[in-house]
Amino acid sequence: MENKNLNDEEEVLDFEDKNPQEEIEMLDFEKDEQVSNQIDEMLDFIDVEEVKTNDKTSDNLESLLDSIEPKNNNTKVEIDGSEEKLNEYKPSLKDFNIKSAKTRKIVKKSMLYIIIVMLLGFEFFINKTGEVLNNLRVYASDNQPIRIIQNNKYGYIDYTGQKVVNPKYSYGEEFVKGYAIVKNSSNLPLIINKGGKQIVPTGVYFSIYRAGNDIIASKVTKKGLKYGILDADLNIKTDFKYDMISYLGDLYTYTNGNSVGIINLDGKDIYKYKLTNSDDKTIDVSPCKVTSDSYQRYAVVKVNSSSLIVNIKDGSVVSSATLNKLIPEENNVFYEVMPNKSKRYIYVENNKVLLESDDYTSLAINSISSGVLRALTTDYKYEFISTKTMEQIKKGLSINDIYYADNVFAYFDQDKKNKKSLVLVKKGEIYKTIESNFVIEKPFKNGVAVIKFEDGLYGYLNEDGNLITNEKFIEAGEFDSYGEAICKTNNGYGVINKKGKVIIKFENEFIKMASGKVKKKSVSGGNNVFYAVRKNNRYALYNSNGKRVNKKFYNDIEFDENYPLFKAATDAEDLIITSEKLEKINLTSFNSDYKAYDNYIIVKNEYYNYSGKLIYVDNSKKEDSGD
């Protein structure tokens, strides 16, 4: 699908292999003539058959390669444009194991300078081929091109600010998984890659719409205009045979002739309903929300006036059809509105209706993994029902004595001798009972509850019913999704993880911490700033290992909730600082607004990359804009 007639205004990068005999420019390295001659002699005397049988030849070649020392060993050379580490190249005899003498001659000429480059280091290479390197753009997988708008036309720049495509499109979306949908001046859709090259030119599809990582497209077939789905790599996920496809976030609905149905995210047609000629060609799907991605989801499917409950992964129908209104709630709880306006509650799990009752005014389950339903009866009493036995966990439990977690249901119990204990339930079964001299101060979050002892100090209890550490704290914050919490002893604030290991020592006035989401996103970089630690009313920066990252101090720090950066204030300036490289972007004040994205940051009308470089100025925005 390559477009041979590219518009002159479009700047594209062509990564296709060329004929080496036509494209390689042989460079004259006069300064290293001696080394070049040595390699010429080496290549001239090598005989392939001899190499196979003569260890001495091999030893001579290895000795020659080892004897050549790279120049300027102490010079650090940095190449801007690629954040990937270059692997060391070590020549071997296998590189020259070629039978044809003619081919060996070509290899000798073309590989000569590659070997020299690898041996002598990149500084000399840059001096000789600076123009070539300046024009080379390496697009890392996590560096998507950045959309810009000029004169109401859309274009793209790379993360260094160089134009990938001149602003020429009437529409352009942000890049997703290496591709972007754009429209030309005639408003016809096409798809370009990260080099700006048209990989799906106009005319291939009549319409193209983004659907998460997928794309819904339509094209003219022998049966007329039909819709299909493309995956993230632009492969056909579903055939182009549907009259219409709609995306609902977790599934697709379709119409096809006299049928309507559901397509799951894998592109499989999982549910089909044949209509009569008098039926409307519509299908409504209302999925339940779930509190964890690991839970199977169900949805109300309504065709005409009939509703039922369907598994949105495999299309299994789990309830009888009804003409009454069906309403989805959270975690696969539904209710049916009866003719007298009362509610019949339904709970679904493992493709079965486990509970269906008119006896409750409400029904909920905070955690499917805990296996405990919370029901409120018509006389306003709570029942806590095991999804395994469909019996009450314990009769007479008060709402004030129960605690839900991600995977656990817990409640306090008291025996006849007034001995108090904490009971833990998973999958509808009691699995642990703990004698307690504490209360739960903050319910389980990210697998850990904050407990308060009788002496007024705090501790941490995990879902297995064990203390994370025997140390007690005068303050205890909740654990984040990364598995760390800020707490305080008499000596000051510190940070611990779920194993009780101290990350930041307890000796500080206060601590601010990056969000769990940001930590997960940036954990691969060991130097990323995770903590701002205050001593003597000034903040210092610490990395993921709890080590100081620089010697500077700041008056204030504010971490971004979604991206690895933070705002910082000093006596002299206010800044945005990127968490990994500590690059700076100046702000007019600490309260200045900005917008952050995966590979760029917008301050007013200025675009910066995460290296702190100004890469674009959007003159269509007013200077005083907060965007």
Q: Summarize pLDDT for 477-532 with one digit per residue, the tens.
A: 999 999 999 999 999 999 999 999 999 999 999 999 999 999 998 876 667 999 99
Q: What is the pLDDT of residue 107?
A: 56
Lowest mean pLDDT among 52-66, 213-227, 342-356: 52-66
Task: Map tokens 């119990």 to a residue.
Answer: 413
Q: What is the pLDDT of residue 111?
A: 60
Q: Calculate mean pLDDT across residues 78-88.
A: 41
pLDDT exceeds cutoff 70 at 4:
no
pLDDT exceeds cutoff 80 at 122:
no
Residue 53 falls inside a structural domain:
yes
Local confidence band at 418 (pLDDT 50, 70, 90 cut-offs): confident
Residue 14 falls inside a structural domain:
no
Q: Is 516 left (phi over 0), alpha (psi -120 to 50) or beta?
A: alpha
Return the DSSP state at 473. B
Q: Please report which residue ranges of 463-585 form alpha helices under DSSP H.
A: 516-522
Q: Calculate mean pLDDT across residues 447-475.
A: 96
Residue 82 falls inside a structural domain:
yes
| Cα–Cα distance, 212 to 79 (Å, whole number) | 35
Q: What is the pLDDT of residue 102?
A: 58
CB count within 10 Å of CB 294 equals 9
Lowest mean pLDDT among 184-198, 350-364, 400-414: 400-414
Local confidence band at 113 (pLDDT 50, 70, 90 cut-offs): low
Name the nearest CA neighbour of 299 among 324, 274, 330: 330
Residue 163 falls inside a structural domain:
no
Chain mean position to CA 66: 44
Residue 74 falls inside a structural domain:
yes
Domain that holds residue 56: 28-128
Local confidence band at 80 (pLDDT 50, 70, 90 cut-offs): very low
Average pLDDT, the chain: 82
Nearest 10 degrees: Cα torsion 486, 489, 491, 494: -20
Give the total residue count for the chain. Answer: 627
Residue 517 falls inside a structural domain:
no
> How many domains does the chain divide into?
1
Q: What is the pLDDT of residue 248?
A: 92
Residue 78 falls inside a structural domain:
yes
Q: What is the pLDDT of residue 118?
A: 59
Residue 24 exposed, middle or buried by CB count within 10 Å (0-12, 13-18, 19+): middle
Residue 381 falls inside a structural domain:
no
pLDDT exceeds cutoff 60 at 58:
no
Name the nearest CA neighbour of 448 among 376, 508, 379, 496: 496
Q: What is the pLDDT of residue 563?
A: 95
| Cα–Cα distance, 108 to 105 (Å, whole number) | 5
Lowest mean pLDDT among 46-60, 460-474, 529-543: 46-60
* Residue 478, phi then psi, degrees to nearest 5: -75, 150
Task: DSSP for 578-602, please give it.
Answer: ETTT--EEEESSTT---EE-SS-EE
Is the entire prediction scored with pTM above 0.85? no
